[in-house]
Structure 1
Amino acid sequence: MKRILAGVLSALISVAAAAALPEAAHAVPERVIILRHGEKKNDYALCSIGEERAKALAAQYLSRDHAKTLFAHQPPVAFMSITLHTLELVSPSAGKWGIPVDDVSVMPEPRRDDPKFVEKLNQRTQEAAHEVLTDPRWNGRTVVMVWEHHHIADAKMEKQFPGEEVTLRQLLNLDKLKDVPKTWPNANYDYFWIVDYGDPKSDVPTAFHMVKQAFEPPYNTLPSNDWGAPEVFPPGSDCEHRK
């Protein structure tokens, strides 16, 4: 009798597990909004312009009710960050919504090009992308990912790790869409990538478009350079210059 009961219980568990798998595999958000951290002062903090950009985003594009809000369709369910810079940028916006940041921060190494540091960023990016595409809490919702730009899209880095997906472009299946840039330019801090998953049974996106940040007063003096164009800082700026 014990063997029979054990067999029945095992079969029921197997059936339940099998039934749960499709749901987990297709628990995709309706929309993922990707942006880069703000302008940096050093490896640990944003500069004054980056700090101002964080405030501007919370007041306008990532706000509750501004005319430029990206959440007119539905409110965000999660804000994610990977480095100190991305955490600093997104915290004011997440605070306005009362949502804790889902932070997978990787601390800066003495040398930011240290292979171990890059490998940590690879791993955290892979873990975060998997969570975004499988977490049932976010199924059909809007998720915001504030990321390090090389791990958003970087053709050179993708070649550096053959056979391994290391960018959001790869991991979120953006590379299956023809209009997605292969590299995020070093000098651009002022764009959103908006990715829509129109088929709730698939983790392949159905639409992609870019939105340039063009703030209204009092934040209208923030740099707003075109995609691939250099960013111009005011004289005396404490920001790192990226070409």
Structure 2
Amino acid sequence: MGLVAAFAIGLLATLAAGAAAAAPARIILLRHGEKQNAWKLCPVGVQRSQALKAQHLGKGAADSLFRPGETPKAFFAITLHTLELITPAATSWGQPVITYSVLPEGSPADFREQLNVQTRKAAQDLLNDPRWDGSTVVVAWEHDHIAKVVPPAKAGKMPGPVPVTLYDLLGLAKFKDAPANWPDETYDYFWIIDFDPATKAPASFRMEKQVFSGAFAGVPQNDWGAPNGLTPASKCQMPKPKKKADRKAGGTQ
């Protein structure tokens, strides 16, 4: 058995048994902002990063997601897009961003495999590192590695059920309201996962829309799975047309 498969099986067994060594009290999970290319956010995504700091995630935010008097313990990112999105909020708290760094280099397959590896490592650390035990952490991630339905044509070619999304690695399938797929044009939601302090297992899940006002009222706030209304004039990358098999599976490219 390969090392990756062995790790995945071991992590799944831990999740199934509810035997994580440690776990945050809460994970606030969100996707990166709208992107211009593989390396940076478009102007709309940059505005979203500032809106998140001002209204939801920054110190003194108008509609903070944190409990009164609470300080987030850590901010996490995986790609340049997620790092760019979450840095303003983290900086407002005087905190660095902990990165499981993956750069958009090499072939698409190589990039995807690095995302797989780093997502598995991040999940393992979240569920075992005592630094985060009992705290609130913010995780900005790549959407296909938050949740993704694999089209049947691709699923049949995969060597085995090795989990590569936080949906699987954190055991979110137990919640009927947790979507198994994150849509391409949806950038404006938080997933909030609370953990049982005794078992360290996920105890509740909810989705919350990012709602902005004032100077940030123009940042897209579309419903889950609905078009975000952006056009090429925004300088944001447009979603690729879905293939027939992907439409049936609800997957994204």
TM-score by length of 2: 0.81
AA aligned to 2:181 is: T
- Once residues 145 and 159 of structure 2 are traced to their aligned partners in structure 1, the CA distance between those partners, rounded to angstroms, is 12
CA offsets 1:53-107 (integer angstroms, 9 cap, x no match): 0011111100222331101252210100000000000111110011110011101
SS at the partner of 1:32?
Answer: strand
1:155: Cα distance to partner? 1.4
* Distance in structure 2 (CA, Å) of the matches to 1:52 and 1:46: 9
Q: Could you list the per-position Cα deviations for residues 151-177 of structure 1 after superposition, in whole angstroms to 9, with x for gaps in the alignment?
A: 000011794463211000011111122
Distance 1:161 1:217 in 2: 50
Tell me the residue number matched to 1:201.
Answer: 198
Distance 2:159 2:77 in 1: 22
Shift of 1:35: 0.3
Q: Distance in 1 between matches of 2:164 and 2:98?
A: 19
CA 1:214–1:234 in 2, change beyond 3 Å: closer, same or farther?
farther
Q: Match of 2:31?
A: 36
Structure-2 residue corresponding to 1:46: 41
1:171-199 deviation digits (Å, cap 9, x = unpaired): 111112221101000000000000000x2
- Unmatched tracts of structure 2, length 5 or more: 1-18, 241-253
Residue correspondence of structure 1 range 61-72 to structure 2 within 5 A: 61-72=56-67
**Contact kept in structure 2, 1:195 and 1:209, CA below 8 Å:** yes
Identity of aligned residues (%): 49
The TM-score normalised by the length of structure 1 is 0.84
Q: How many angstroms apart in 2 are the aligned matches of 1:237 and 1:177?
A: 36
Quote the residue 2:230 is aligned against: 233
Distance 1:57 1:241 in 2: 22
Distance 1:141 1:27 in 2: 10
* Paired residue type of 1:52: Q
Is contact 2:59-2:89 (8 Å) kept? no
What is the one-letter code of the residue matched to 1:105? S
Cα contact 1:173–1:203 (8 A) shared by 2: no
Structure 1 residue 214: Cα displacement: 1.2
* Bigger Rg, structure 1 or 2: 1
How many angstroms apart in 2 are the aligned matches of 1:239 and 1:124?
A: 26
In 2, Cα distance between the equivalents of 1:43 and 1:102?
Answer: 20
